[in-house]
Amino acid sequence: MANKVYINGTLHAKEDAVISVYDHGLLYGYGVFEGLRSYAGKVFRIEEHIERLWDSAKALWMEIPMTQQAMRQAIEETLEANGIGDGYIRVLVTRGSGTLGLDPNQTSNPQVIIIADALALYPEQYYKDGLEIVTVSVTRNHPAALNPRVKSLNYLNNILAKIEGLQAGCVEALMLNHKGEVAECTGDNIFVVDAGTLLTPPQDAGILKGVTRGAVIELAEEAGRTVREVPLTKHDVYIADECFLTGTAAEVVAVVKVDSRAIGAGTPGPVTRDLMKRFRLLARA
């Protein structure tokens, strides 16, 4: 089945899905997006993703030209039209076409785009053996410049960090904030386990409020574990008993080495393995 892409209420064949080259989403990265997962045709925590999309748009002085209910319906219809059970959905909203200047008042006709496709997951070996990551020199965006809680179409901060990580031979990379504290990875939130307690950076550390992150916190607390959102340093990561990442695509994946230092026993730990199982059960419930 050929891919169908939703643009402003109409489904187009993938090769015919186009927008104006004058759109400020292309010219300046002025727009917002969300990445969602579907399991057996059901979108995981769709309401939370839609709410975050609206929050991002509001932060960037954008109005999404449809209701949240209409967005939900459009996402579900696009998923169904592409015949995808387990997959990935990318929702984008651009500022719209305008002049070659920065003035957003000169733009019109924002584009709502929904893409549903198969998902390129980490190899299963990563979930069995864990990841090795490296701390990169690229600092996470300063909240007073472009707040990391906004999922904007300008992803250069993450991309530059990703490039540095790949050049070091790692598929993920750890980013610090402007204070030198642990923020998040290029596409995932981070947790460490210390004596059974889960520690993760707070939102004001310059992180995205991850939907999967929130689900894992809930699962851990339901299992009777303590979760604390506290500032972390690289030292806290190095001496942790366990470390793992959470994200829409990654779900829950262990980190067994950071900056060439083994974390704990150097294998996925029991807390991480338990949360991996709990999350997969939740996602397919």
Nearest of 269, 173, 278 to residue 217 by alpha carbon: 278
Question: 60-72: per-residue pLDDT in tens?
Answer: 999 999 999 999 9
Can you give the pLDDT at residue 119?
85
Instruction: pLDDT band for 1, please (50, 70, 90 cuts).
Output: low
Question: 21-67: per-residue pLDDT in tens?
Answer: 999 999 999 999 999 999 999 999 999 999 999 999 999 999 999 99
Question: 262-283: per-residue pLDDT in tens?
Answer: 999 999 999 999 999 999 999 9
Question: 142-183: per-residue pLDDT in tens?
Answer: 999 999 999 999 999 999 999 999 999 999 999 999 999 999
Can you give the pLDDT at residue 120?
77
Q: What is the DSSP string of the chain?
A: ---EEEETTEEEEGGG----TTBHHHHH--EEEEEEEEETTEETTHHHHHHHHHHHHHHTT---SS-HHHHHHHHHHHHHHTT-SSEEEEEEEE--B--SSS-GGG-B---EEEEEE---PPPHHHHHH-EEEEE-SSPPPPTTTS-TTS-BS--HHHHHHHHHHHHTT-SSEEEE-TTS-EEEESS-EEEEEETTEEEE--GGGT----HHHHHHHHHHHHTT--EEE----HHHHHT-SEEEEEETTTEEEEEEEETTEEPTTSS--HHHHHHHHHHHHHHT-
Which positions are annotated as active-site residues? 151
Q: What structural domains and CATH numbers belong to the chain?
A: 4-117 (3.30.470.10), 124-283 (3.20.10.10)
